[in-house]
Amino acid sequence: MEFKRVVVLTGAGISAESGIRTFRDQNGLWEDHPVEDVATPEGFQRNPNLVYQFYNMRRAQLLDASVVPNAAHQILAEFEAEHIARGGHFTLITQNVDNLHQRAGNQRIIAMHGQLQSALCSVSGLSIPWTNDLTAEHHCQCCETPSSLRPDIVWFGEVPYQLDDCFEVVSKADLFVSIGTSGKVYPAAGFMQVAQESGAETVELNLEKTSSAFDQGYYGPATEVVVDFFSRLMQR
Ligand code: NAD
């Protein structure tokens, strides 16, 4: 079958081989911090400095010369260019807040959980490009009275960016590929079912199986299974 409308959902696993740790270890911690402390609005209210500091470290990591897009990021960019050139539709929905898909060259990206290299005005909701440390002392230039800025990350309990667009493309997909995501964070975790109910072929590419509901699954490091899968798709 020739797939016209391809949607890829990525999670932290695709960036693991670029040196960025995934979200949950076995104790439910993110880089050794309880999720409630660093990824909720309540955690930010309780201890803003800890939260600024946490994302400053993640943001600084993106400037490290050793953190670069890996072969899995690269093949997705190649696939997008080729698929679009052939008249297909492609959307990459990422839960990742790193910038590796952007750096690899993908164009149609929905960064549904925000981005590390961006700050958010807490009053206007404007996203502002930001590559350095962010602190409580920084203020926006968009409001009449400069307002405080926070990391531009969608925390638990907040609504992801472009959620309507996500559901729209997922429900129209004829191929839905989930890469390196544990499928535990909603609403992204529900996209596979929406795609399947709308008639898409669903594929999981991961280090290990997260669900038996996918139509196909290929398991191993992203730099192997993602490259294999999309190379084969491009050869069709
Ligand atoms: P997760 O940590 O819950 O799951 C990671 C998944 O990746 C697991 O299923 C694991 O088996 C798989 N995996 C690990 N190494 C892999 C590899 N080398 N190749 C293929 N698969 C591999 O991550 P999630 O599902 O994305 O949810 C975490 C949330 O945390 C996201 O919403 C994101 O906002 C945030 N986060 C982002 C980053 C990032 O931007 N790189 C990193 C950590 C957390």
Ligand 1, atom 13, lies closest to the CA of: 13
Pocket test for ligand 1, best of 22, 35, 102, 208 (most atoms within 8 A of CB): 22
Residue 23 binned pLDDT confidence (cut-offs 50, 70, 90): confident
Instruction: Please give the average per-residue pLDDT across 73-95, as a whole number.
Output: 98
Examine the pLDDT at 213 and tell me if it is beyond 70: yes
Whole-number pLDDT of residue 28: 61
- The SS3 assignment for 139 reads strand
> pTM here?
0.96
C-beta pairs of 214-218 under 8 Å, 24+ apart in sequence: 214/178
Instruction: Please give the average per-residue pLDDT across 11-15, as a whole number.
Output: 96
Examine the pLDDT at 25 and tell me if it is beyond 60: no
Catalytic residue among 101, 113, 138, 139: 113
Angstrom CA distances, 225 to 44, 169, 221, stand at: 37, 24, 6
- Domains of the chain, first to last: 5-19+69-113+160-235 (3.40.50.1220), 29-65+118-153 (3.30.1600.10)
**Does 113 participate in catalysis according to the annotation?**
yes
| Cα 172 to averaged position of ligand 1 atoms, centre (Å) | 25
Let me know: does 88 contact 4? Beta carbons within 8 Å: yes
| Class of residue 88 by CB neighbours under 10 A (exposed 0-12, middle 13-18, buried 19+) | middle
**Closest atom, ligand 1, to C-alpha of 13:** 7
Residues 6+ apart with CB under 8 A from 215: 196, 201, 202, 203
Pocket test for ligand 1, best of 8, 23, 184, 211 (most atoms within 8 A of CB): 23
Cβ of 99 less than 6 Å from ligand 1: no
pLDDT tens profile 136-167? 999 999 999 999 999 999 999 999 999 999 99
Give CA–CA dist 73/89, Å, rounded: 18
User: What percent of the chain stands above pLDDT 70?
Assistant: 97
Whole-number pLDDT of residue 50: 96
Cβ of 140 less than 6 Å from ligand 1: no
Residue 30 binned pLDDT confidence (cut-offs 50, 70, 90): confident
Give CA–CA dist 229/215, Å, rounded: 14
| Cα 50 to averaged position of ligand 1 atoms, centre (Å) | 22
Instruction: Please give the average per-residue pLDDT across 81-92, as a whole number.
Output: 97
Q: Which of 30-39, 53-62, 172-181, 200-209 has the lowest mean pLDDT?
A: 30-39
